[in-house]
Amino acid sequence: MRGAREVAAGPIPGTNGQILDALPHPLILVDPQGRIVEANMAAESFFRASAQVLRRHPVSHFVPFGSPLLMLISQVRERGAPVNEYKVDISSPRIGAEKIVDIIAAPVTDRPGAVVLMLQERGMAEKIDRQLTSRGAARTVSGLATMLAHEIKNPLSGIRGAAQLLEASAAEDDRPLTRLIMDETDRIVKLVDRMEVFSDERPVEREPVNIHVVLDHVQRLANSGFARNIPINVEYDPSLPLVLANRDQLVQVFLNLVKNASEAVAGEPTGEITLTTAYRPGIRLSVPGSRERVSLPLEFCVRDNGPGVPEDLLPHLFDPFVTTKANGSGLGLALVAKIIGDHGGVIECDSQPGRTVFRILMPAYATQDEI
């Protein structure tokens, strides 16, 4: 952190400014009076204000009254030494909701009372961790599906055939039992077929897709079927660029999410679903095996006002066989996570009573001239 303090101690001209602007985390310098005197580009994006606007206000202007961030600055000044704080909620109407950050604060040696703050968004790190965990779980299901296809589907075929033969000669009272055997074998085969989707490692065939066309199609399907009596609202950014994706797979993803939302609000007199799209610059991820950082500026959300997801299930929601439904298989959201991961995107869920949001972040389509 020492090098960062020395750079931030003075103005940010030339090369030093370029270095700080290259940092992916918000970095600000607070003077002894609590005013923001310097900020990098990531800080401008985080605080939703230009550097010029930031310099007009104290840091207390952007965070809630009595925020732990303000107390952290005081601790650094009192101790004259760096202080770290993890998972701090600094959400406010000015900078937005869900601002959970790790804070690294340090004094500036040649500026008594000045403090450098670096903020690391906790939410994004957890999104990535969840996505990687879901991909690992999907690979486990992939191997299991391959084994089940060979070791279970063939015997099930024999069991079903035997039950059909028995049904032909069974007494009337016994036929419901043979029908039960056939129905249950069919159900198991369907479950194995769904799991086999995870073992498909072929590259996804993608093309430029208008996400609003996909969402409109999903809305029509939902309104004519499982969500017939549930209002579905839309909040679209009409200027959104195209997404490089497989259209059919995106339809599958959003149908699954909207169906889950409709089941969550079923029976609620004021139950409703909202589909939103937005452009969120500044979110960049490292790609394994490459030095490139991929931007994920496209945000697609499915929101409902149902009872919410139990807190203990949230970290495992995209793992296979995890479900809140009495008769669910727990493969729907795992498949959604696999599809989004195959597209180079991230999916996560924020939930509390009365508000559940499934948020998908994906890269935009770039023409050859833009690459």
Last residue of a domain, one of 160, 177, 199: 199
Q: What is the pLDDT of residue 284?
A: 59
Q: Please, are residues 77 and 116 in contact by the beta-carbon 8 Å criterion?
A: no
Q: What is the pLDDT of residue 2?
A: 36
Same domain, 344 and 273: yes
Q: Tokens standing for 335?
A: 């498949």
- pLDDT tier for residue 196 given thresholds of 50, 70 and 90: low
Last residue of a domain, one of 99, 121, 143: 121
Q: Please, are residues 303 and 274 in contact by the beta-carbon 8 Å criterion?
A: yes
Same domain, 213 and 139: no
In a domain? residue 352 = yes
Same domain, 275 and 334: yes
Same domain, 192 and 296: no
Q: What is the pLDDT of residue 265?
A: 93
Residue with tokens 């070791």: 151
Taking CA atoms, 1 is separated from 92, 101, 106, 159, in Å, by 27, 17, 8, 67
Q: What is the pLDDT of residue 65?
A: 83
Same domain, 60 and 164: no
In a domain? residue 260 = yes
d(CA 153, CA 194): 13
In a domain? residue 370 = no
Residue 171 has pLDDT above 70, yes or no: yes
pTM listed for this prediction: 0.54
Neighbours of 344 (CB within 10 A): 17
Last residue of a domain, one of 136, 164, 199: 199
* CATH label of the domain that carries residue 314: 3.30.565.10
Same domain, 67 and 181: no
Domain total of the chain: 3
Q: What is the pLDDT of residue 92?
A: 82
Cβ-based burial of 302 (10 A; exposed 0-12, middle 13-18, buried ≥19): buried
First-last CA distance in the chain: 34
Q: Please, are residues 89 and 79 in contact by the beta-carbon 8 Å criterion?
A: no
Same domain, 354 and 220: yes
In a domain? residue 70 = yes
**Candidate ranges 29-43, 192-206, 353-367; pick with highest mean pLDDT:** 29-43
In a domain? residue 246 = yes
d(CA 336, CA 316): 14
Same domain, 346 and 278: yes
Same domain, 173 and 276: no
Q: Tokens standing for 265?
A: 């609000």
Domain residues for the domain of 151 are 126-199
In a domain? residue 20 = yes
Higher pLDDT, 136 or 277: 277
Same domain, 116 and 130: no
Same domain, 341 and 250: yes
In a domain? residue 368 = no
Same domain, 46 and 157: no
* CATH label of the domain that carries residue 72: 3.30.450.20
In a domain? residue 111 = yes
Cα-trace Rg, the chain:
26
Residue 28 φ/ψ, nearest 5 degrees: -130, 155
- Output 282-289 pairs: Cβ under 8 A, ≥24 positions apart: 282/42, 282/45, 282/46, 283/124, 283/361, 284/24, 285/128, 285/346, 287/344
- pLDDT tier for residue 129 given thresholds of 50, 70 and 90: low
